[in-house]
Structure 1
Protein backbone atom coordinates (compact mmCIF):
# COMPACT_ATOMS: atom_id res chain seq x y z
CA UNK A 1 0.00 0.00 0.00
CA UNK A 2 1.49 3.29 -1.09
CA UNK A 3 1.84 6.00 1.57
CA UNK A 4 -0.52 8.90 1.12
CA UNK A 5 0.79 12.42 1.07
CA UNK A 6 -0.33 14.58 4.00
CA UNK A 7 -3.20 16.86 3.17
CA UNK A 8 -2.07 20.39 2.50
CA UNK A 9 -3.96 23.09 4.35
CA UNK A 10 -6.32 25.13 2.25
CA UNK A 11 -4.66 28.57 2.00
CA UNK A 12 -8.02 30.30 1.62
CA UNK A 13 -9.35 28.63 4.77
CA UNK A 14 -6.17 29.52 6.67
CA UNK A 15 -6.40 33.15 5.56
CA UNK A 16 -10.06 33.31 6.57
CA UNK A 17 -9.33 31.81 10.00
CA UNK A 18 -6.50 34.28 10.52
CA UNK A 19 -8.75 37.17 9.53
CA UNK A 20 -11.44 36.14 12.01
CA UNK A 21 -8.83 35.76 14.76
CA UNK A 22 -7.73 39.31 14.03
CA UNK A 23 -11.25 40.74 14.18
CA UNK A 24 -11.82 38.83 17.44
CA UNK A 25 -8.81 40.50 19.07
CA UNK A 26 -9.88 43.93 17.83
CA UNK A 27 -13.50 43.43 18.91
CA UNK A 28 -12.46 42.23 22.37
CA UNK A 29 -10.22 45.28 22.78
CA UNK A 30 -13.16 47.52 21.83
CA UNK A 31 -15.40 45.65 24.28
CA UNK A 32 -12.94 46.19 27.15
CA UNK A 33 -12.20 49.83 26.39
CA UNK A 34 -15.85 50.73 25.98
CA UNK A 35 -16.78 48.97 29.23
CA UNK A 36 -14.07 50.80 31.17
CA UNK A 37 -15.06 54.19 29.76
CA UNK A 38 -18.76 53.70 30.53
CA UNK A 39 -18.03 52.40 34.02
CA UNK A 40 -15.64 55.28 34.76
CA UNK A 41 -18.13 57.93 33.63
CA UNK A 42 -20.98 56.32 35.56
CA UNK A 43 -19.11 55.78 38.81
CA UNK A 44 -17.14 59.04 38.73
CA UNK A 45 -20.44 60.90 38.33
CA UNK A 46 -21.90 58.95 41.25
CA UNK A 47 -18.87 59.75 43.42
CA UNK A 48 -19.05 63.44 42.51
CA UNK A 49 -22.75 63.69 43.31
CA UNK A 50 -22.22 61.84 46.58
CA UNK A 51 -19.51 64.30 47.57
CA UNK A 52 -21.74 67.21 46.62
CA UNK A 53 -24.41 65.80 48.93
CA UNK A 54 -21.87 65.28 51.71
CA UNK A 55 -22.36 61.50 51.82
CA UNK A 56 -19.26 59.51 52.84
CA UNK A 57 -18.44 56.24 51.15
CA UNK A 58 -15.83 54.08 49.46
CA UNK A 59 -15.04 53.35 45.83
CA UNK A 60 -13.46 50.08 44.80
CA UNK A 61 -13.42 47.83 41.77
CA UNK A 62 -16.86 46.45 42.66
CA UNK A 63 -18.49 49.89 42.69
CA UNK A 64 -19.34 52.85 44.90
CA UNK A 65 -20.60 52.11 48.40
CA UNK A 66 -22.10 54.93 50.45
CA UNK A 67 -21.78 54.75 54.23
CA UNK A 68 -25.18 56.13 55.08
CA UNK A 69 -27.96 54.22 56.82
CA UNK A 70 -31.31 53.87 55.07
CA UNK A 71 -32.86 56.32 57.51
CA UNK A 72 -30.43 59.03 56.41
CA UNK A 73 -31.61 59.07 52.80
CA UNK A 74 -34.35 61.34 51.51
CA UNK A 75 -36.13 61.12 48.17
CA UNK A 76 -34.50 64.28 46.78
CA UNK A 77 -31.06 63.05 47.91
CA UNK A 78 -31.53 59.68 46.21
CA UNK A 79 -32.56 61.34 42.96
CA UNK A 80 -29.75 63.91 43.13
CA UNK A 81 -27.09 61.25 43.74
CA UNK A 82 -28.24 58.34 41.56
CA UNK A 83 -29.88 60.02 38.53
CA UNK A 84 -26.95 61.99 37.02
CA UNK A 85 -24.85 58.85 36.35
CA UNK A 86 -27.37 57.18 34.01
CA UNK A 87 -28.09 60.59 32.47
CA UNK A 88 -24.38 61.10 31.76
CA UNK A 89 -23.92 57.75 30.05
CA UNK A 90 -27.19 58.18 28.14
CA UNK A 91 -25.82 61.46 26.81
CA UNK A 92 -22.53 59.78 25.95
CA UNK A 93 -24.39 57.03 24.08
CA UNK A 94 -26.39 59.62 22.14
CA UNK A 95 -23.21 61.47 21.13
CA UNK A 96 -21.53 58.17 20.18
CA UNK A 97 -24.49 57.18 17.99
CA UNK A 98 -24.48 60.58 16.30
CA UNK A 99 -20.75 60.30 15.58
CA UNK A 100 -21.20 56.77 14.29
CA UNK A 101 -24.17 57.42 12.05
CA UNK A 102 -23.20 60.83 10.69
CA UNK A 103 -19.44 60.49 10.26
CA UNK A 104 -18.07 57.01 10.92
CA UNK A 105 -20.35 54.30 9.53
CA UNK A 106 -18.92 54.49 5.98
CA UNK A 107 -15.30 55.15 7.01
CA UNK A 108 -12.54 52.62 7.41
CA UNK A 109 -11.00 51.81 10.76
CA UNK A 110 -12.03 50.66 14.21
CA UNK A 111 -13.41 53.96 15.50
CA UNK A 112 -16.93 53.04 14.41
CA UNK A 113 -16.73 49.64 16.13
CA UNK A 114 -15.50 51.27 19.34
CA UNK A 115 -18.38 53.74 19.19
CA UNK A 116 -20.86 50.88 18.79
CA UNK A 117 -19.48 49.07 21.81
CA UNK A 118 -19.73 52.31 23.79
CA UNK A 119 -23.40 52.48 22.83
CA UNK A 120 -23.93 48.82 23.73
CA UNK A 121 -22.30 49.14 27.16
CA UNK A 122 -24.12 52.39 27.92
CA UNK A 123 -27.43 50.80 26.92
CA UNK A 124 -26.76 47.80 29.12
CA UNK A 125 -25.69 49.99 32.05
CA UNK A 126 -29.04 51.81 31.94
CA UNK A 127 -31.56 49.19 30.78
CA UNK A 128 -30.05 45.85 31.70
CA UNK A 129 -28.40 47.50 34.68
CA UNK A 130 -31.74 48.33 36.27
CA UNK A 131 -32.82 44.71 35.91
CA UNK A 132 -29.58 43.49 37.53
CA UNK A 133 -29.72 46.16 40.25
CA UNK A 134 -33.34 45.25 41.04
CA UNK A 135 -32.29 41.65 41.74
CA UNK A 136 -29.55 42.80 44.15
CA UNK A 137 -31.51 45.88 45.34
CA UNK A 138 -28.58 48.22 44.77
CA UNK A 139 -27.38 50.94 42.40
CA UNK A 140 -30.00 52.33 40.03
CA UNK A 141 -32.73 50.31 41.80
CA UNK A 142 -32.87 53.04 44.45
CA UNK A 143 -34.28 55.59 41.99
CA UNK A 144 -37.59 53.88 41.03
CA UNK A 145 -37.86 52.37 44.49
CA UNK A 146 -37.76 55.78 46.17
CA UNK A 147 -39.52 57.66 43.38
CA UNK A 148 -42.44 55.26 42.95
CA UNK A 149 -42.63 53.81 46.43
CA UNK A 150 -45.14 50.99 47.02
CA UNK A 151 -42.45 48.40 47.75
CA UNK A 152 -40.21 46.71 45.20
CA UNK A 153 -42.79 45.65 42.61
CA UNK A 154 -42.76 48.95 40.57
CA UNK A 155 -38.98 48.76 40.12
CA UNK A 156 -39.28 45.06 39.26
CA UNK A 157 -41.87 45.77 36.57
CA UNK A 158 -39.76 48.66 35.26
CA UNK A 159 -36.65 46.46 35.22
CA UNK A 160 -38.47 43.80 33.19
CA UNK A 161 -39.75 46.47 30.81
CA UNK A 162 -36.23 47.85 30.37
CA UNK A 163 -35.00 44.31 29.67
CA UNK A 164 -37.64 43.92 26.96
CA UNK A 165 -36.59 47.24 25.41
CA UNK A 166 -32.97 46.05 25.40
CA UNK A 167 -34.01 42.88 23.54
CA UNK A 168 -35.75 45.02 20.91
CA UNK A 169 -32.77 47.35 20.53
CA UNK A 170 -30.44 44.40 20.07
CA UNK A 171 -32.54 43.06 17.21
CA UNK A 172 -32.47 46.51 15.56
CA UNK A 173 -28.68 46.86 15.74
CA UNK A 174 -27.75 44.27 13.08
CA UNK A 175 -27.28 46.71 10.16
CA UNK A 176 -25.21 49.23 12.18
CA UNK A 177 -23.05 46.37 13.44
CA UNK A 178 -22.46 45.04 9.93
CA UNK A 179 -21.58 48.57 8.79
CA UNK A 180 -18.84 48.57 11.44
CA UNK A 181 -17.05 45.65 9.72
CA UNK A 182 -14.43 46.58 7.13
CA UNK A 183 -13.62 43.17 5.64
CA UNK A 184 -15.61 41.80 2.73
CA UNK A 185 -14.57 38.29 3.74
CA UNK A 186 -16.03 38.81 7.21
CA UNK A 187 -19.23 40.25 5.74
CA UNK A 188 -19.91 37.34 3.37
CA UNK A 189 -23.21 35.69 4.24
CA UNK A 190 -21.59 32.23 4.24
CA UNK A 191 -19.33 33.44 7.06
CA UNK A 192 -22.09 34.74 9.34
CA UNK A 193 -21.68 31.94 11.92
CA UNK A 194 -17.99 32.90 12.28
CA UNK A 195 -18.91 36.59 12.34
CA UNK A 196 -21.30 35.98 15.23
CA UNK A 197 -18.77 33.89 17.17
CA UNK A 198 -15.69 36.05 16.60
CA UNK A 199 -17.15 39.58 16.76
CA UNK A 200 -20.14 39.33 19.12
CA UNK A 201 -20.32 36.28 21.38
CA UNK A 202 -16.57 35.71 21.64
CA UNK A 203 -15.68 39.28 22.70
CA UNK A 204 -18.61 39.30 25.14
CA UNK A 205 -17.47 36.09 26.85
CA UNK A 206 -13.73 36.79 26.67
CA UNK A 207 -14.05 40.44 27.68
CA UNK A 208 -16.42 39.68 30.56
CA UNK A 209 -14.10 36.90 31.77
CA UNK A 210 -11.08 39.23 31.76
CA UNK A 211 -13.04 41.90 33.63
CA UNK A 212 -14.32 39.35 36.15
CA UNK A 213 -10.83 37.96 36.80
CA UNK A 214 -9.46 41.49 37.21
CA UNK A 215 -12.18 42.22 39.79
CA UNK A 216 -11.39 39.21 42.02
CA UNK A 217 -11.73 39.18 45.06
CA UNK A 218 -14.15 42.13 44.80
CA UNK A 219 -16.33 40.55 42.12
CA UNK A 220 -19.92 40.44 43.31
CA UNK A 221 -23.25 39.11 42.12
CA UNK A 222 -24.30 42.52 40.81
CA UNK A 223 -21.42 42.79 38.36
CA UNK A 224 -21.87 39.18 37.22
CA UNK A 225 -25.52 40.00 36.52
CA UNK A 226 -24.45 43.09 34.55
CA UNK A 227 -22.27 40.87 32.36
CA UNK A 228 -25.24 38.55 31.93
CA UNK A 229 -27.77 41.25 31.03
CA UNK A 230 -25.47 42.21 28.15
CA UNK A 231 -26.85 39.06 26.54
CA UNK A 232 -30.27 40.73 26.32
CA UNK A 233 -28.65 43.03 23.76
CA UNK A 234 -26.08 40.77 22.12
CA UNK A 235 -28.08 37.57 21.60
CA UNK A 236 -30.80 39.33 19.53
CA UNK A 237 -27.99 41.20 17.76
CA UNK A 238 -26.27 37.90 16.94
CA UNK A 239 -29.51 36.45 15.60
CA UNK A 240 -30.13 39.55 13.49
CA UNK A 241 -26.59 39.52 12.10
CA UNK A 242 -26.86 35.81 11.25
CA UNK A 243 -30.07 36.38 9.29
CA UNK A 244 -29.40 39.79 7.71
CA UNK A 245 -28.54 39.56 4.00
CA UNK A 246 -26.64 42.87 3.95
CA UNK A 247 -23.13 42.41 2.48
CA UNK A 248 -22.47 45.64 0.54
CA UNK A 249 -20.36 48.56 1.71
CA UNK A 250 -19.86 51.83 -0.10
CA UNK A 251 -16.17 52.18 0.75
CA UNK A 252 -13.41 49.87 -0.41
CA UNK A 253 -12.40 47.23 2.14
CA UNK A 254 -9.30 47.89 4.24
CA UNK A 255 -6.67 45.31 5.24
CA UNK A 256 -7.59 43.39 8.36
CA UNK A 257 -4.81 43.86 10.92
CA UNK A 258 -4.62 43.62 14.68
CA UNK A 259 -4.73 47.07 16.24
CA UNK A 260 -1.97 46.61 18.79
CA UNK A 261 -2.46 50.19 19.95
CA UNK A 262 -6.11 49.49 20.76
CA UNK A 263 -5.27 46.14 22.37
CA UNK A 264 -2.51 47.78 24.40
CA UNK A 265 -4.83 50.55 25.57
CA UNK A 266 -7.41 47.97 26.61
CA UNK A 267 -4.88 46.00 28.66
CA UNK A 268 -3.40 49.16 30.19
CA UNK A 269 -6.89 50.38 31.06
CA UNK A 270 -7.68 47.03 32.68
CA UNK A 271 -4.44 47.16 34.67
CA UNK A 272 -5.02 50.77 35.74
CA UNK A 273 -8.58 49.91 36.80
CA UNK A 274 -7.27 47.06 38.93
CA UNK A 275 -4.42 49.04 40.51
CA UNK A 276 -6.45 52.19 41.18
CA UNK A 277 -9.50 50.49 42.67
CA UNK A 278 -8.07 47.20 43.92
CA UNK A 279 -8.57 48.51 47.45
CA UNK A 280 -11.28 50.81 48.82
CA UNK A 281 -10.75 54.51 48.11
CA UNK A 282 -12.42 56.81 50.62
CA UNK A 283 -15.03 59.19 49.23
CA UNK A 284 -15.64 62.28 51.35
Structure 2
Protein backbone atom coordinates (compact mmCIF):
# COMPACT_ATOMS: atom_id res chain seq x y z
CA UNK A 1 0.00 0.00 0.00
CA UNK A 2 2.83 2.35 0.86
CA UNK A 3 4.47 2.01 -2.55
CA UNK A 4 1.17 2.53 -4.36
CA UNK A 5 0.46 5.79 -2.57
CA UNK A 6 3.85 7.36 -3.27
CA UNK A 7 3.14 8.26 -6.93
CA UNK A 8 -0.24 9.73 -5.99
CA UNK A 9 1.36 11.81 -3.23
CA UNK A 10 4.05 13.01 -5.64
CA UNK A 11 1.41 13.96 -8.21
CA UNK A 12 -0.56 15.90 -5.58
CA UNK A 13 2.60 17.69 -4.49
CA UNK A 14 3.37 18.73 -8.05
CA UNK A 15 -0.22 19.87 -8.54
CA UNK A 16 -0.04 22.08 -5.45
CA UNK A 17 3.28 23.61 -6.50
CA UNK A 18 2.05 24.30 -10.03
CA UNK A 19 -1.08 25.91 -8.57
CA UNK A 20 0.95 28.09 -6.20
CA UNK A 21 3.23 29.25 -9.00
CA UNK A 22 0.31 29.97 -11.32
CA UNK A 23 -1.37 32.00 -8.57
CA UNK A 24 1.81 33.98 -7.87
CA UNK A 25 2.17 34.85 -11.55
CA UNK A 26 -1.55 35.62 -11.86
CA UNK A 27 -1.13 38.19 -9.08
CA UNK A 28 2.11 39.67 -10.41
CA UNK A 29 0.50 40.12 -13.82
CA UNK A 30 -2.56 41.67 -12.17
CA UNK A 31 -0.49 44.15 -10.16
CA UNK A 32 1.44 45.16 -13.26
CA UNK A 33 -1.75 45.80 -15.25
CA UNK A 34 -3.47 47.48 -12.30
CA UNK A 35 -0.58 49.87 -11.68
CA UNK A 36 -0.41 50.65 -15.41
CA UNK A 37 -4.17 51.30 -15.41
CA UNK A 38 -4.02 53.61 -12.39
CA UNK A 39 -0.91 55.37 -13.64
CA UNK A 40 -2.41 56.06 -17.07
CA UNK A 41 -5.63 57.33 -15.49
CA UNK A 42 -3.80 59.68 -13.12
CA UNK A 43 -1.46 61.06 -15.79
CA UNK A 44 -4.36 61.68 -18.16
CA UNK A 45 -6.34 63.38 -15.40
CA UNK A 46 -3.36 65.61 -14.63
CA UNK A 47 -3.04 66.52 -18.31
CA UNK A 48 -6.68 67.60 -18.12
CA UNK A 49 -5.93 69.76 -15.09
CA UNK A 50 -7.65 67.40 -12.64
CA UNK A 51 -6.16 66.74 -9.22
CA UNK A 52 -6.39 63.16 -7.97
CA UNK A 53 -5.75 61.09 -4.88
CA UNK A 54 -4.88 57.42 -5.18
CA UNK A 55 -6.11 54.86 -2.64
CA UNK A 56 -5.78 51.03 -2.63
CA UNK A 57 -9.15 50.51 -4.32
CA UNK A 58 -10.01 53.72 -6.14
CA UNK A 59 -8.90 57.06 -7.53
CA UNK A 60 -10.59 60.13 -6.11
CA UNK A 61 -10.98 62.99 -8.59
CA UNK A 62 -10.92 66.33 -6.82
CA UNK A 63 -13.61 68.20 -8.69
CA UNK A 64 -17.39 68.35 -8.73
CA UNK A 65 -19.43 66.36 -11.26
CA UNK A 66 -20.59 69.60 -12.87
CA UNK A 67 -16.97 70.58 -13.59
CA UNK A 68 -16.23 67.62 -15.85
CA UNK A 69 -15.87 68.36 -19.57
CA UNK A 70 -16.71 65.77 -22.21
CA UNK A 71 -13.16 65.37 -23.53
CA UNK A 72 -11.81 65.06 -19.99
CA UNK A 73 -14.31 62.32 -19.10
CA UNK A 74 -13.59 60.31 -22.23
CA UNK A 75 -9.80 60.57 -22.08
CA UNK A 76 -9.47 60.08 -18.32
CA UNK A 77 -11.71 57.04 -18.01
CA UNK A 78 -10.51 55.44 -21.26
CA UNK A 79 -6.77 55.83 -20.64
CA UNK A 80 -6.38 52.90 -18.26
CA UNK A 81 -8.32 50.32 -20.29
CA UNK A 82 -6.53 51.26 -23.52
CA UNK A 83 -3.10 51.06 -21.88
CA UNK A 84 -3.97 47.57 -20.61
CA UNK A 85 -5.16 46.57 -24.08
CA UNK A 86 -1.80 47.74 -25.43
CA UNK A 87 -0.03 45.64 -22.79
CA UNK A 88 -1.99 42.58 -23.94
CA UNK A 89 -0.76 43.11 -27.49
CA UNK A 90 2.80 43.36 -26.15
CA UNK A 91 2.69 40.29 -23.92
CA UNK A 92 0.89 37.88 -26.25
CA UNK A 93 3.77 37.83 -28.78
CA UNK A 94 6.13 37.27 -25.85
CA UNK A 95 4.02 34.31 -24.78
CA UNK A 96 4.23 32.88 -28.30
CA UNK A 97 7.99 33.38 -28.21
CA UNK A 98 8.39 31.53 -24.91
CA UNK A 99 5.66 28.88 -25.13
CA UNK A 100 8.11 26.24 -26.41
CA UNK A 101 10.74 27.10 -23.79
CA UNK A 102 11.07 25.83 -20.24
CA UNK A 103 10.30 28.00 -17.24
CA UNK A 104 7.54 30.20 -15.88
CA UNK A 105 7.95 33.29 -18.04
CA UNK A 106 5.34 32.00 -20.47
CA UNK A 107 2.84 31.60 -17.61
CA UNK A 108 3.40 35.21 -16.58
CA UNK A 109 3.06 36.41 -20.18
CA UNK A 110 -0.17 34.42 -20.57
CA UNK A 111 -1.75 35.90 -17.44
CA UNK A 112 -0.51 39.38 -18.38
CA UNK A 113 -2.20 39.01 -21.77
CA UNK A 114 -5.47 37.88 -20.21
CA UNK A 115 -5.45 40.58 -17.52
CA UNK A 116 -4.80 43.20 -20.18
CA UNK A 117 -7.65 41.99 -22.38
CA UNK A 118 -10.02 41.54 -19.45
CA UNK A 119 -9.23 44.97 -18.04
CA UNK A 120 -10.26 46.48 -21.37
CA UNK A 121 -13.31 44.41 -22.26
CA UNK A 122 -14.29 43.46 -18.71
CA UNK A 123 -14.12 47.07 -17.50
CA UNK A 124 -16.88 47.97 -19.93
CA UNK A 125 -19.04 45.03 -18.88
CA UNK A 126 -18.50 45.79 -15.18
CA UNK A 127 -18.84 49.54 -15.70
CA UNK A 128 -22.20 49.10 -17.40
CA UNK A 129 -23.54 47.25 -14.36
CA UNK A 130 -22.40 49.88 -11.85
CA UNK A 131 -22.58 52.91 -14.19
CA UNK A 132 -18.96 53.85 -13.60
CA UNK A 133 -15.38 53.39 -14.75
CA UNK A 134 -14.83 52.72 -18.46
CA UNK A 135 -18.59 53.02 -19.00
CA UNK A 136 -18.31 56.78 -18.44
CA UNK A 137 -15.93 57.13 -21.39
CA UNK A 138 -18.10 55.08 -23.75
CA UNK A 139 -21.34 56.64 -22.53
CA UNK A 140 -20.09 60.20 -23.02
CA UNK A 141 -18.60 59.29 -26.40
CA UNK A 142 -21.69 57.63 -27.90
CA UNK A 143 -24.39 59.76 -26.22
CA UNK A 144 -26.96 56.93 -26.05
CA UNK A 145 -27.41 54.62 -23.05
CA UNK A 146 -28.72 51.93 -25.38
CA UNK A 147 -25.65 52.12 -27.61
CA UNK A 148 -23.34 51.95 -24.59
CA UNK A 149 -25.24 48.87 -23.45
CA UNK A 150 -24.84 47.31 -26.89
CA UNK A 151 -21.08 47.91 -26.75
CA UNK A 152 -21.00 46.18 -23.35
CA UNK A 153 -22.90 43.19 -24.78
CA UNK A 154 -20.43 42.90 -27.67
CA UNK A 155 -17.53 43.07 -25.20
CA UNK A 156 -19.24 40.33 -23.16
CA UNK A 157 -19.23 38.09 -26.24
CA UNK A 158 -15.66 39.06 -27.08
CA UNK A 159 -14.49 37.83 -23.67
CA UNK A 160 -16.10 34.44 -24.33
CA UNK A 161 -14.43 34.39 -27.75
CA UNK A 162 -11.07 35.16 -26.17
CA UNK A 163 -11.52 32.18 -23.86
CA UNK A 164 -12.24 29.89 -26.81
CA UNK A 165 -9.26 31.15 -28.81
CA UNK A 166 -6.83 31.21 -25.87
CA UNK A 167 -7.75 27.77 -24.52
CA UNK A 168 -4.77 25.91 -26.08
CA UNK A 169 -2.38 28.44 -24.55
CA UNK A 170 -2.95 27.00 -21.07
CA UNK A 171 -1.87 23.57 -22.30
CA UNK A 172 1.18 25.09 -23.98
CA UNK A 173 2.10 26.97 -20.79
CA UNK A 174 2.18 23.88 -18.56
CA UNK A 175 5.63 22.32 -18.09
CA UNK A 176 4.56 19.47 -15.80
CA UNK A 177 4.72 16.13 -17.60
CA UNK A 178 2.53 14.63 -14.87
CA UNK A 179 -0.28 17.18 -15.14
CA UNK A 180 -0.08 17.20 -18.93
CA UNK A 181 -1.14 13.54 -19.08
CA UNK A 182 -4.64 13.43 -20.53
CA UNK A 183 -5.82 11.38 -17.54
CA UNK A 184 -4.89 14.34 -15.31
CA UNK A 185 -6.55 16.95 -17.50
CA UNK A 186 -9.18 18.06 -14.97
CA UNK A 187 -6.56 18.40 -12.22
CA UNK A 188 -4.34 20.38 -14.57
CA UNK A 189 -7.14 22.74 -15.60
CA UNK A 190 -8.31 23.39 -12.04
CA UNK A 191 -4.74 23.98 -10.92
CA UNK A 192 -3.70 26.32 -13.71
CA UNK A 193 -7.01 28.02 -14.58
CA UNK A 194 -9.42 28.24 -11.64
CA UNK A 195 -7.12 28.06 -8.63
CA UNK A 196 -5.14 31.20 -9.61
CA UNK A 197 -8.35 33.09 -10.33
CA UNK A 198 -10.14 32.09 -7.11
CA UNK A 199 -7.19 32.40 -4.72
CA UNK A 200 -5.83 35.43 -6.57
CA UNK A 201 -9.15 37.26 -6.40
CA UNK A 202 -9.35 36.60 -2.65
CA UNK A 203 -5.80 37.95 -2.23
CA UNK A 204 -6.72 41.10 -4.17
CA UNK A 205 -9.80 41.58 -2.00
CA UNK A 206 -7.75 41.29 1.19
CA UNK A 207 -5.10 43.61 -0.26
CA UNK A 208 -7.65 46.40 -0.77
CA UNK A 209 -10.26 45.88 1.94
CA UNK A 210 -12.00 48.03 3.23
CA UNK A 211 -11.50 50.01 0.00
CA UNK A 212 -12.33 47.12 -2.33
CA UNK A 213 -14.85 48.37 -4.91
CA UNK A 214 -17.77 46.53 -6.52
CA UNK A 215 -16.46 47.68 -9.91
CA UNK A 216 -13.16 45.92 -9.22
CA UNK A 217 -14.95 42.78 -8.09
CA UNK A 218 -17.04 42.66 -11.26
CA UNK A 219 -13.93 43.06 -13.42
CA UNK A 220 -12.37 40.07 -11.67
CA UNK A 221 -15.65 38.18 -12.08
CA UNK A 222 -15.73 38.99 -15.80
CA UNK A 223 -12.50 37.01 -16.16
CA UNK A 224 -14.69 33.92 -15.68
CA UNK A 225 -16.11 34.62 -19.15
CA UNK A 226 -12.63 33.79 -20.45
CA UNK A 227 -11.70 31.00 -18.05
CA UNK A 228 -14.88 28.91 -18.26
CA UNK A 229 -14.51 28.41 -22.05
CA UNK A 230 -10.82 27.64 -21.47
CA UNK A 231 -11.81 24.86 -19.07
CA UNK A 232 -14.43 23.24 -21.28
CA UNK A 233 -12.53 23.66 -24.55
CA UNK A 234 -9.55 21.81 -23.07
CA UNK A 235 -11.55 18.96 -21.53
CA UNK A 236 -11.33 16.93 -24.73
CA UNK A 237 -8.24 18.46 -26.31
CA UNK A 238 -5.92 15.51 -26.91
CA UNK A 239 -2.82 17.70 -26.77
CA UNK A 240 -0.72 16.24 -23.95
CA UNK A 241 2.85 17.15 -24.86
CA UNK A 242 5.16 19.54 -23.11
CA UNK A 243 8.68 20.67 -23.90
CA UNK A 244 11.29 17.85 -24.04
CA UNK A 245 13.16 18.94 -20.89
CA UNK A 246 10.73 20.87 -18.68
CA UNK A 247 11.98 22.76 -15.67
CA UNK A 248 11.81 20.90 -12.36
CA UNK A 249 8.55 21.59 -10.53
CA UNK A 250 9.44 23.82 -7.58
CA UNK A 251 8.02 26.91 -5.93
CA UNK A 252 9.03 30.18 -7.60
CA UNK A 253 10.46 31.71 -4.44
CA UNK A 254 11.90 34.79 -6.14
CA UNK A 255 8.54 35.61 -7.72
CA UNK A 256 6.79 35.01 -4.39
CA UNK A 257 9.13 37.41 -2.59
CA UNK A 258 8.62 40.06 -5.28
CA UNK A 259 4.84 39.61 -5.01
CA UNK A 260 4.74 39.89 -1.23
CA UNK A 261 7.10 42.87 -1.19
CA UNK A 262 5.13 44.60 -3.95
CA UNK A 263 1.81 43.93 -2.22
CA UNK A 264 3.15 45.26 1.09
CA UNK A 265 4.48 48.44 -0.52
CA UNK A 266 1.21 48.88 -2.43
CA UNK A 267 -0.88 48.54 0.72
CA UNK A 268 1.23 50.67 3.06
CA UNK A 269 1.90 53.47 0.59
CA UNK A 270 -1.76 53.90 -0.41
CA UNK A 271 -3.51 53.40 2.94
CA UNK A 272 -3.82 57.14 3.53
CA UNK A 273 -3.89 58.13 -0.14
CA UNK A 274 -1.29 59.78 -2.37
CA UNK A 275 -2.16 63.11 -4.02
CA UNK A 276 -1.24 64.01 -7.59
CA UNK A 277 -1.53 67.34 -9.38
TM-score when scaled to structure 1? Answer: 0.93
CA shift for structure 1 position 250: 4.5
- Aligned match of 1:148: 142
> Are 1:245 and 2:227 matched, yes or no?
no
Match of 1:175 among 168, 191, 209: 168
For residues 19-74 of structure 1, give each alpha carbon's deviation from its aligned partner in whole angstroms, at most 9, with x where no partner exists: 00110110000011000000000110100111111112221111212122232222
Secondary structure at the aligned position of 2:250 is classed as coil
CA distance in 1: counterparts of 2:206 and 2:77, whole angstroms: 27
Root-mean-square deviation (CA, aligned residues, Å) is: 1.4
Distance in 1 (alpha carbons) for counterparts of 2:230 and 2:63: 40
Q: 2:24 aligns with which of 22, 29, 47?
A: 29
Q: Which runs of 5+ in 1 are unaligned?
A: 1-6
- Choose from 6, 15, 38 the match for 1:11: 6
Of stretches 163-172 and 79-88 in structure 1, the one that deviates more from structure 2 is: 79-88
What's the counterpart of residue 3 of structure 1? none
1:82–1:140 Cα contact (<8 Å) kept: yes
CA drift at 1:166:
0.3
Separation in structure 2 between the aligned mates of residue 242 and residue 276 of structure 1, nearest angstrom: 43
Distance 1:268 1:156 in 2: 40
The residue number in structure 1 matching 2:64 is 69
Contact kept? 1:107, 1:251, Cα under 8 Å: no
Aligned to 1:233: 226
3-state SS in 2 of match to 1:243: coil
What's the CA shift for 1:282? 1.8
Q: Which residue in the other structure is 1:262 paired with?
A: 255
Equivalent residue number for residue 114 of structure 1? 108
Q: Which moved more, 1:126-135 or 1:241-250?
A: 241-250
Per the TM alignment, residue 249 of structure 1 is displaced from its structure 2 partner at its CA by 3.2
Distance 1:160 1:174 in 2: 22
Unaligned runs of 5+ residues in structure 2 are none
Q: Does structure 2 retain, via aligned residues, the 8 Å contact 1:27–1:199?
A: yes
Cα pair 2:133 2:215 within 8 Å, conserved: no
Q: Which has the larger radius of gyration?
A: 1
Give per-residue Cα distances to partners, 1:149-181, cap 9 Å, x unaligned. 12x222222112101100111111121111111
2:177 matched residue in structure 1? 184
Match of 1:133 in 2: 127
Structure 2 residue 92 is the aligned partner of structure 1 residue 97: yes
Report the CA distance between 1:130 and its aligned residue.
Answer: 0.8
1:38 to 23, 33, 42: 33
Shift of 1:225: 1.0
The answer (yes or no) to whether the contact 2:77–2:134 under 8 Å persists in 1 is yes
| Structure 1 outlier segments of 4+, above 6 Å | none
Kept after mapping to 2: 8 A contact 1:174/1:244: no
Matches of 2:34 and 2:110, distance apart in 1? 16
SS of the residue corresponding to residue 235 of structure 2 reads: helix
The structural deviation recorded for 1:84 is 2.6
Residues of 1 paired with 2:174 and 2:243: CA distance? 12
8 Å CA contact retained: 1:128, 1:232: no
CA distance in 2, matches of 1:241, 1:272: 38
Q: Show the 5 A alignment for 1:191-206.
A: 191-206=184-199
